[in-house]
Chain A
Amino acid sequence: MALLIVLLGLLVLFAVLLGVSRDLLYAAAALAAASVILSIVLFSFGANVAAAFELSVCAGLITVLFVSTVSLTKDSDQKTEAKLPALFLLPMLVLFAGISGFFVRWLAGVLPTAGQARAVTFQEVFWGQRMTDVLGQISLVLVGVFGLLAILRAKSAGRHHD
């Protein structure tokens, strides 16, 4: 229980860092760290499928995409970034926590009681139970790569109307 509280505390800490960071690379790193911690929390709850995908998609794939994009566009002007989102972060967190608390209490009353989850390995979850998602992930990586290359490509010189 103590470990879980520490992990949840760290999760909130990285989420706040993500929101207040003025450097996009640090923000991407904070997001990756928050995703890794969330994966550990999910594993500890026995939600192995969700944990496997949080780790591979959010901590892995999305971080790679963010870091590549930020690195490729690093020269662009970031001075115009507004401080407004950071000011709203705390009230938004409180509001979100309140809504989540209310929703979770309601769900706890409606949902059937979950049984003890069977312990399964990461290998079993990733390669055995959800092969469709691996196929989906491969295609999402491809979309991300081609999407980045397409958006960052040199624009064609002129249009043909003749």
Chain B
Amino acid sequence: MEAYLGSVLLLPLLGALLMPWVSKLGRRAPDVFAGAVGLGVLVNCLALVPGAGTTTSFQVFGTNFAVDGLSLLFLVVISVVGFFCAIYSIDYIEHYGGRAKFYALLMLLIFGLNGVVLVRDLFSLYLFLEVASISSYVLVAYNLEFDGIESALKYLLLSVVATGMILIALSLIFASTGTLAFAELKTALAGGGNPLFLLAAALFMAGFGLKAAVVPFHAWLPDAHPSAPAPISAMLSGVVIKVAGVYSLTRIFLGIYPSPPQVLKVFLVLGVASMAAGAILAYLQTDMKRMLAYSSISQIGYIMIGLGLGNWLGVVGALFHVVNHALFKSLLFLNSGAVQFRTGTRDIREMGGLENRMKITSVTSTFGTLSIAGIPPFNGFWSKLFIVLGALAAKNYVVAVLTVSFSVFTLGYFLLLQRRVFFGKLNERWRDLKEAPAAMSFAVICLAAQCLLVGVFFSQVVHGLIEPAARVLLGGN
């Protein structure tokens, strides 16, 4: 078990370290190597799933790490999306150049995210968060064009504000309790009473809320995600905002802080605001990736709502939606990347009828649309159902009605996107268009299949992966 965990943490770091030498072996060597590292991390991570109900501690270079159900769920999300993004990049990154550097930064991003979910003290969490964040700033600017660099700077500046707030909160907590270790903090904070704990909680909420891009801390996301290369948009929307934001918020407020009803109410309010604002703003976009970015804000809202409900169904629904959103949003971003790769535009108004030329992209995009809209038997249906049932169980009928309404609204604007991009009469401009290259198509087919399979076998996924994570939060592990 410890060997699997060590591999999951260290393989991406070793991969990044070796990448400069690997790149000298041949033009395609970085592709093969990055795929192999991604597969190694994924296999080792999946090998941990049967033991999801237990907590395992391990040491790397004398440092303590541990994995419990919650960490494992996020590890699986990181490794699945990371692997398919690496595969997709084989063809996609061709026109950006510098593929060895790209893969090295992608691996460091994965390493940072894995570190965030495996550490057991707040300062180390902050440190690995910075590793992941700095990698993602560079990756957002990777196209070296004006919009990419401008977005990366905006992302950097707002993230610095977030990390500043997190660092001040850490200082206050350390000064008051003398520790930053999760287990010791839980005991130290249990008494409450100290006004510094409340101030630190507010700073954590704003700092990690900014990382999660929940409304009103979302300003950086609609610029950063569309400007990044598609696999990085997929990583940012599918994984980074969840690990840096949702995981950290969950670990701190449902795992360490004694979670009073007021904190859950804040989660609920932020969740409803994000769900509504994200969906409405997404509907107004004509840039395909920008629409997906706003939709991510909306979907993070569903996760926050589930967590804010605080009951079993709500939390299970939220954690299941973390997995599902990672799958379908990565799929949709990768598909938008395929469309941009072939057409050179992200403007929906210039598209139309692409299904005649890009069959795989069109079909897999339909899978993504049905999943995000919560249509059975796709995965998004079950997680949204759990969240709605959680709201009904909590007798919060307004939230239940809003969740269903915005799910229908999501279906509406995604069907509109699907129709304007893929269906209808083929725009003559795209008469000679070809399907996306093989590696890109392979990655989206696999993700689309997972959207369907996770929906069909939802019971096994919930029992095997989601419930152990929910028990960590609600069972007081």
Residues of A within 8 A of B (CB): 107, 110-112, 131-136, 138-140, 142-144, 146-147, 149-151, 153-156, 158-162
A143 pairs with B134, CB closer than 8 A:
yes
Given A111-B175, A159-B344, 4 new contacts (CB under 8 A): A132-B119, A139-B115, A142-B13, A153-B144
Q: Closest 9 interchain pairs by CB?
A: A156-B97, A136-B127, A147-B138, A150-B101, A132-B63, A153-B98, A132-B124, A131-B63, A161-B344
What B residues does A153 contact at CB under 8 A? 97-98, 101, 144
- Output the residue of B94, B123, B137 with the most chain A CB within 10 A: B123
Nearest B residue to A156 by beta-carbon distance?
B97
B342 pairs with A161, CB closer than 8 A:
yes
- Of the candidates A112, A133, A140, the one whose C-beta lies within 8 Å of that of B176 is A112
Q: Give complex CA distance A133, B96 in Å.
A: 33
Shortest distance between the CB of A21 and any CB in chain B (Å)? 21
B138 pairs with A143, CB closer than 8 A:
yes
A142 pairs with B16, CB closer than 8 A:
yes
**Residue B104 at the A interface, CB < 8 A?**
yes
Q: Give complex CA distance A147, B16 in Å.
A: 12
Nearest B residue to A154 by beta-carbon distance?
B97
Chain B interface size range: 35 or more
Q: Give complex CA distance A110, B95 in Å.
A: 57
**Residue B434 at the A interface, CB < 8 A?**
yes
Q: Give complex CA distance A161, B92 in Å.
A: 11
B196 pairs with A110, CB closer than 8 A:
yes
Q: Give complex CA distance A132, B60 in Å.
A: 9
Nearest B residue to A138 by beta-carbon distance?
B13
Q: Give complex CA distance A146, B15 in Å.
A: 13
A139 pairs with B95, CB closer than 8 A:
no
Q: Give complex CA distance A139, B130 in Å.
A: 10
- Of the candidates A107, A111, A135, A147, the one whose C-beta lies within 8 Å of that of B134 is A147
Q: Give complex CA distance A104, B142 in Å.
A: 42
- Of the candidates B105, B121, B343, the one whose C-beta lies within 8 Å of that of A146 is B105
> What are 7 sample pairs from A and B whose C-beta atoms fall under 8 A apart?
A132-B119, A135-B60, A139-B13, A142-B17, A146-B138, A149-B101, A150-B98
Shortest distance between the CB of B123 and any CB in chain A (Å)? 8
Residues of B within 8 A of A (CB): 13, 16-17, 60-64, 94-98, 101-102, 104-105, 108, 111-112, 115, 119, 121, 123-124, 127-128, 130-131, 134-135, 137-138, 141-142, 144, 175-176, 194-196, 341-344, 432, 434
What B residues does A107 contact at CB under 8 A? 175, 196
Q: Give complex CA distance A112, B13 in Å.
A: 40
A146 pairs with B108, CB closer than 8 A:
yes
- Output the residue of B63, B64, B137, B342 with the most chain A CB within 10 A: B63
Q: Give complex CA distance A138, B13 in Å.
A: 9
B127 pairs with A143, CB closer than 8 A:
no
B341 pairs with A160, CB closer than 8 A:
yes
A131 pairs with B61, CB closer than 8 A:
yes
Q: Give complex CA distance A110, B196 in Å.
A: 8
- Output the residue of A133, A139, A151, A156 with the most chain B CB within 10 A: A139
Shortest distance between the CB of A73 and any CB in chain B (Å)? 14
Nearest A residue to B340 by beta-carbon distance?
A161
Q: Give complex CA distance A146, B138 in Å.
A: 9
What A residues does B104 contact at CB under 8 A? 142, 146
A150 pairs with B112, CB closer than 8 A:
no
Q: Give complex CA distance A155, B96 in Å.
A: 7
- Output the residue of A110, A135, A149, A156 with the most chain B CB within 10 A: A135
Shortest distance between the CB of A40 and any CB in chain B (Å)? 20
A147 pairs with B196, CB closer than 8 A:
no
What A residues does B119 contact at CB under 8 A? 132
B434 pairs with A110, CB closer than 8 A:
no
Nearest B residue to A146 by beta-carbon distance?
B104
Nearest B residue to A162 by beta-carbon distance?
B434
- Output the residue of A133, A150, A159 with the most chain B CB within 10 A: A150
Q: Give complex CA distance A131, B60 in Å.
A: 9
- Of the candidates B101, B131, B195, the one whose C-beta lies within 8 Å of that of A136 is B131
Shortest distance between the CB of B170 and any CB in chain A (Å)? 12
B128 pairs with A136, CB closer than 8 A:
yes
A140 pairs with B134, CB closer than 8 A:
yes
Q: Give complex CA distance A136, B343 in Å.
A: 40
What B residues does A150 contact at CB under 8 A? 98, 101-102, 105, 138, 142
- Of the candidates B62, B131, B432, the one whose C-beta lies within 8 Å of that of A139 is B131
Known: A111-B175, A132-B63, A147-B134. A159 touches B95 (CB 8 A): yes
What A residues does B175 contact at CB under 8 A? 107, 111
- Of the candidates A112, A135, A160, the one whose C-beta lies within 8 Å of that of B63 is A135
Shortest distance between the CB of B42 and any CB in chain A (Å)? 20
What A residues does B115 contact at CB under 8 A? 135-136, 139
Shortest distance between the CB of A69 and any CB in chain B (Å)? 12
Known: A132-B63, A150-B138, A158-B95. A111 touches B196 (CB 8 A): yes
Nearest A residue to B345 by beta-carbon distance?
A161
Shortest distance between the CB of B52 and any CB in chain A (Å)? 24
Shortest distance between the CB of B96 and any CB in chain A (Å)? 6
Shortest distance between the CB of A62 and any CB in chain B (Å)? 12
What B residues does A135 contact at CB under 8 A? 60-61, 63, 115
Shortest distance between the CB of B473 and any CB in chain A (Å)? 24
